[in-house]
Amino acid sequence: MRFIRKKISFLFLLTCLISSAQEKVIIFSINDIHSRIENFSKIKPLIDNERAKGNKVFFVSAGDIFSGNPIVDNYSEKGFPIIDLLNRTGLDISVIGNHEFDYGQNVLNDRISQANFPFVCANFSGGKGELSNVKGVEIIEKDGFSIAYIGAIETGNFGRFPLTHPKKVKGLFFTNPIQVFEDYKILNENSDVDLVVALTHLGKNGDEKILEKFNYIDLVIGGHSNHIYGKRHENGYMIMSGKNLEMISKTTISVSQGKIIDFQFEKIDLSNASLEKDQNIDLLIQKYKDNPSFYKKIGYSSVNHSRGETGCFYTKAIRETTNADIVIQNNGGIRDNLKKGVIRPLDIYTIDPFGNGIDNFLITPAELNFFLKKYSKRFYISSSLNFEKKNNGDLEIYRNGEKIGEDEKISLAMNDYISNTYSEYLPEPLHSYPSTTAEYLIRFLNNHNGGDLNFENCSKF
């Protein structure tokens, strides 16, 4: 009996020792919020309540905090409301996402300077001002527990650039976002770091590759592909938390000797009306939204339009603006559908948030076919011409039933994101328009005196 008591005491002591060596950590994560501000008042109480319990609480962003809400995108200091709200909710760190460049490098420098948290990105260089101070890794410590966050941004655009307007990243250099993690293996030997996290804006496939290739990474917190998951994969764990601040993820982990030994992932739906709100932040959000010019009637839609039908509206409006024979618009450049009911500037800026310009070209049929083969992306089209597809994939183009000759010119208009990204496959623009595509869409609606719009079942290319 005496032996059994001693054995039990030894096991109890061993359990206590093991338990004392474990660290409980909570990570709140968001990604791809795209300037949505409505739910910030619900985030602060969630995080504050956990911090009040004495837990080690981290709050991180996996990029694309900008572009997608006219209230933020067209604020006098573009993007500032998001920085203000992230400061007030206590964000610890954010990776730079591709849409962080949408306002241009000067604006991004200003927003970084106003942030109470660091931005991180390991696979870019060449920035000036605040961008030149962005590190590849940042170590954040809470109550003696330290996490090294290594940042990486996608390079999926033509020429290995992030998916933003090429003009906005001019002078910057981007390297392979997976291979860059080779440079940080030394963190695995740093006894002062308790956990190594890849904070990425690469998408699900890229995050999986990191865990498959680098076993020193304990956790990947990712964005870009808008998935929702918290799971184990290969050598570590991976998290992604949707889009548009529709939810926030809460991940509770136990760490022992630098390894995650328990992992619990929770999705928190921020549309839940029962969630507590921070009243001061709620009032601030209402103040930011108080801009009457966004809410005036400029048109009316008699139906709910699909994304393709919205593309028809978009390209027709730009064709009327430019008087071009053909207008094309990239699929990814339309971010919302034209809904039934009153149309406001707020709706147009939500559909088209990027502030692109318009370029107009005079090209031959052969030049058009060459460009379309090189472009090879999904697009919407509006045209006064007719097309006939040949067996080799080329288009024969007709005007009023007459085939357009090889030496004849046709006018082609597109947003300057496309024309700058694929400039080597196009001639020099004949004309570049001074306003943004969204402003021309609003002008189109004003010129139609609020008449009903219906592009239901419109023909698509």
Percent of the chain with pLDDT over 90: 88
CATH no. for 294-453: 3.90.780.10
C-alpha dihedral, 380 to 381 to 382 to 383, nearest 10° = -170
pLDDT value of residue 191 = 67
pLDDT band at 459 (very low <50, low <70, confident <90, very high): low
Average pLDDT of the residues in 322-333: 96
| Contact (Cβ atoms closer than 8 angstroms) between residue 411 and residue 360 | yes
pLDDT value of residue 460 = 55
Q: Where are the domains of the chain?
A: 21-289, 294-453
pLDDT value of residue 431 = 96
Percent of the chain with pLDDT over 70: 94
CATH architecture of the domain 21-289 equals 4-Layer Sandwich (3.60)
pLDDT value of residue 158 = 87
CA distances to 148, 164, 288 from 416, in Å: 39, 11, 30
Average pLDDT of the chain is: 93
Residue 183 CA to residue 187 CA, distance in Å, equals 9
- Kindly tell me the number of DSSP H helices and DSSP E strands found in the chain: 12, 25
| Contact (Cβ atoms closer than 8 angstroms) between residue 33 and residue 64 | yes
Average pLDDT of the residues in 37-55: 95
* DSSP per residue, 29-75: EE---TT--TTHHHHHHHHHHHHHTT-EEEEEE-S--SSS-HHHHTS
- pTM score, whole prediction: 0.91
**How confident is the model over 401-453, as pLDDT tens digits?**
999 999 999 999 999 999 999 999 999 999 999 999 999 999 999 998 767 89
